[in-house]
Amino acid sequence: MNVFLWILQVVLAGMFLMAGAMKLMKSRAEIASAQPDRMGWMEDVSDGTARLAGGAEVLGALGLILPAITGVVPVLVPLAAAGLAVTMILAAVFHSRRGESQAMMTNIVLAIVALIVMWGRFGDYAF
């Protein structure tokens, strides 16, 4: 189970690190025009909202890995997973209101995976 949780943590961290870094480094217009079918929603949010989402994703990704590797405050791992789950639930609500069912389902799946990591790392497989 520990190996399974590590795999989930690494996959989640990679996905959130890439998505968050893109939101932090590129403009909303660049992101929306590069992937209009998946990221068109970026045109409808403010720069601050996009950067906030990107920052939360990057911090969450780092929180899934670094505390466990360094042994410094490892309780941050399940807290980071919980934060990412909340972020994805809010994103699912946002996409649901826009009628973007594919994006909403992606957010729900990511939230479930993050909740599994949270459950495992708060439970018997804590660091």
pTM for the structure as a whole: 0.92
What does the alpha-carbon distance between residue 6 and residue 65 come to, in Å, rounded to a whole number? 9
> Which run of H or of E encompasses 96?
helix 76-97
> What's 124's DSSP letter?
T
pLDDT digits (tens, 9 = 90+) for 80-113: 999 999 999 999 999 999 999 999 999 999 999 9
CA 5: distance to chain centroid? 16
Q: In the chain, what are the domain boundaries? A: 2-22+55-122
